[in-house]
Amino acid sequence: MKSIFRQVALIGKYHAAVAPAQAASTRATLEEIAHFLASQGCEVVVERDTAAHAGMTGHTTADVATIGTQCDLGLVVGGDGTMLGIGRQLACHGVPLIGINQGRLGFITDISLDQYRTVLPPMLAGEYEEDQRTLMQAHVMRDGQSVFDTLAMNDVVVNRGATSGMVELKIEIDGHFVARQRADGLIVASPTGSTAYALSAGGPMLHPSNPSWVMVPIAPHTLSNRPIVLPDAVEIVIELLSGRDASANFDMQSLASLLHGDRITVRRSQHKVRFLHPKGWTYFDTLRKKLHWNEGA
């Protein structure tokens, strides 16, 4: 089968400082996958930081922006954190992504490393399921000015400080006052993020095709403050009224320190992340495998 994707970007999990043995193992894995892609008729482009930190040489390299404009497909080797990071950056370019799981959970990197040789060829030939995930556009507003803005695929989390008490938050939806609540924090999660921190805090799981957010309080002072599912067309505003050392986290990969009066706005982004899965894949396959729903059957 011939690949319908001409130029494929190879993106790996990397750290600035890793043990030599780990770096060698990562390099060997990525080199093996690169050669496999070439054998399928793909022109392989290795993401620049991946190549640098893995010590890969002799390959065409490119930064993420160039990958977005030139490549037909991104192959991500790592865990969900790796996919979250690259997914946000490539969403505006519409580049589809395939995930090979080299992490622990693998909710969005769903092809196991030991199966890619059999799973990838039909996908590269066009036999796949496409799954589009919404993104959240978030801003931290201070005195009417945006001091921080970013995209999030999983969640936006307002947290209390590590050693301080609860935060007090005012919540508005589409300009309407909803509640004031005291809690350890508040999570606004997408369907993708509903199986992450929001699930641990007692929120429901949302199917990715559901055009919704879930808003989940973290250890609320008033027990009647419960998770609520909202349409993703709304704008959510969270104002910090009190609490020391509070912060806002975005996919747990970027962070903004908050001052009293800061307002965190969350709305649906115009961009979506495109995931490709093996033919016949469904979201329930992922839940059954990752949450061990089939055990004891």
Active site residues: 80
For 129, phi then psi, to 5°, come to -105, 135
Tokens encoding 139: 């801003």
Q: How many CB atoms lie within 10 A of CB 233?
A: 11
Burial of 103 (0-12, 13-18, 19+ CB in 10 A): middle
- Quickly tell me which residue has 């769903």 as its tokens: 110
Give the whole-angstrom CA distance, residue 140 versus residue 93. 25
> Which stretch of DSSP H or E encloses residue 22?
helix 20-39
Give the whole-angstrom CA distance, residue 225 versus residue 236. 16
Beta bridge partners of 221: none
DSSP helix/strand/coil, 50:
helix
What residues contact residue 20 under an 8 Å CB cut-off, 6+ apart?
none
DSSP helix/strand/coil, 278:
strand
- CA angle 290/273/258 to nearest 5° reads 90
What residues contact residue 89 under an 8 Å CB cut-off, 6+ apart?
64, 68
Give the whole-angstrom CA distance, residue 38 versus residue 44. 7
Give the whole-angstrom CA distance, residue 126 versus residue 104. 28
